[in-house]
Amino acid sequence: MITEDDFLAAADCPPDLAFVRLERKFREMLESNLESSQNGNMYEHFVIEYMNHTLAAANALGLDILEFFSVPDPNNTSNLTQTYNHFRQVVDGYTVGVHIRNIRVGPATSLPFDEHEKKHIRAYVTKIKEIVDASALEAAKKEALMNRLNAFLAEVDKDRTSMQRFQDFIMSLAKTTADATEELEPTWKWARLIAAIFGVRQDTENAKLPPPPKRIERPKQQIPPPSARNGTRRADMDDDIPF
């Protein structure tokens, strides 16, 4: 069950990042419910619950990314799995984009990962490569995507990982999955996990930055009070008024 504390994940951050953090909570709850459920008939209930929560979060945050979706009718679930898979693909693609947009740009265009993070990134890329290799994607496109993945892995092995390589990998994956949506849709699960690692590392690096310097405001210009001469002159003018 989603608790009030879970919603604190959306505090003090932009709407897009708030959505990503909330959706992560909803998905964790979905996966936990499905794993612990002993009743196969509860699958539809848990999936609809996840979609309902995610749609509500997007609407509350003013995001239109899921505007073409609605909460499935529990009395008509014949196309639920297909709708859910499409829903997840849209959410995953948006999540990856959010992580990229929220990565600081400028001089720091690379991130330092520790061995623990690199190990997980390599494992997730391996999962993606296995899915791509087993797909019926045409040879040329498969080879092009594999080259991007290998270039990204080579970058991960360096002391600092280039953000450009990561973006190249994500863009190639997005273009390729458009040609084989059903077969390659599972790759987004692993791409999303990689993006999450990048996001956490970026937050860690940003926390090390010194706070921005305080802005020193210019002193306000003070208007001097009217001189006694002006006051006398005004009094003389008042005396000249015949009423």
Q: Is residue 241 part of a domain?
A: no
CA dihedral 136, 130, 117, 200 (to 10 degrees): 30
Whether the per-residue pLDDT at 210 is higher than 70: the answer is no
CA 231 to CA 235: how far, in whole Å?
A: 6
Question: What is the structure's pLDDT at 167?
Answer: 83
**In total, how many domains does the chain have?**
2
Q: Is residue 243 part of a domain?
A: no
Indicate the residue among 52, 81, 102 that finishes a domain: 102
Residue 200 amino acid letter? V
Question: What is the structure's pLDDT at 140?
Answer: 87
Whether residues 10 and 72 fall in one domain: yes
Indicate the residue among 71, 102, 133 that finishes a domain: 102
Whether residues 83 and 162 fall in one domain: no
Question: What is the structure's pLDDT at 213?
Answer: 45
CA 189 to CA 216: how far, in whole Å?
A: 47
Task: Please report where in the chains the tokens 């010194």 appear, as a residue.
Answer: 210
Please give the distance of CA 170 from its chain centroid, rounded to a whole number: 14
Q: Is residue 240 part of a domain?
A: no
141-190 pLDDT, tens digit each: 888 889 889 989 988 988 888 888 888 888 888 877 766 667 788 898 99
Whether residues 93 and 157 fall in one domain: no
Q: Which domain holds residue 67?
A: 1-102
List the one residue out of 118, 116, 104 whose CA is nearest residue 205. 104
Whether residues 37 and 86 fall in one domain: yes
Whether residues 75 and 136 fall in one domain: no
Question: What is the structure's pLDDT at 49?
Answer: 95
Indicate the residue among 102, 122, 148 that finishes a domain: 102
Whether the per-residue pLDDT at 227 is higher than 80: the answer is no
Whether residues 143 and 178 fall in one domain: yes
Whether residues 112 and 203 fall in one domain: yes
Question: What is the structure's pLDDT at 221?
Answer: 55
Q: Is residue 228 part of a domain?
A: no
Residue with the larger pLDDT of the pair 87 and 9: 87
Q: Is residue 242 part of a domain?
A: no
pLDDT band at 48 (very low <50, low <70, confident <90, very high): very high
Mean pLDDT across the chain, nearest whole number?
81
Whether residues 165 and 85 fall in one domain: no
Whether the per-residue pLDDT at 232 is higher than 80: the answer is no
pLDDT band at 15 (very low <50, low <70, confident <90, very high): confident
Task: Please report where in the chains the tokens 């239109």 appear, as a residue.
Answer: 64
For residue 218, give Cα distances in angstroms to 151, 173, 215, 221, 223.
Answer: 52, 51, 9, 9, 15
Whether the per-residue pLDDT at 237 is higher than 50: the answer is no
> What is the residue-wise DSSP string for 52-67?
HHHHHHHHHTT--TTT
Whether residues 114 and 184 fall in one domain: yes
Which residues, 6 or more positions from 24, have their beta carbon under 8 angstroms from its beta carbon?
9, 196
Whether residues 58 and 152 fall in one domain: no
What average pLDDT does range 46-55 have in this prediction?
Answer: 95
Q: Is residue 82 part of a domain?
A: yes
Q: Is residue 117 part of a domain?
A: yes
Question: What is the structure's pLDDT at 84?
Answer: 93
Question: What is the structure's pLDDT at 106?
Answer: 40
| Percentage of the chain lying above the pLDDT 90 cut | 33
Whether residues 12 and 62 fall in one domain: yes
Q: Is residue 235 part of a domain?
A: no
Whether residues 44 and 128 fall in one domain: no
Question: What is the structure's pLDDT at 228?
Answer: 52
Whether the per-residue pLDDT at 47 is higher than 70: the answer is yes
What average pLDDT does range 195-204 have in this prediction?
Answer: 87
67-103 pLDDT, tens digit each: 989 999 999 998 999 999 999 999 998 988 887 776 6
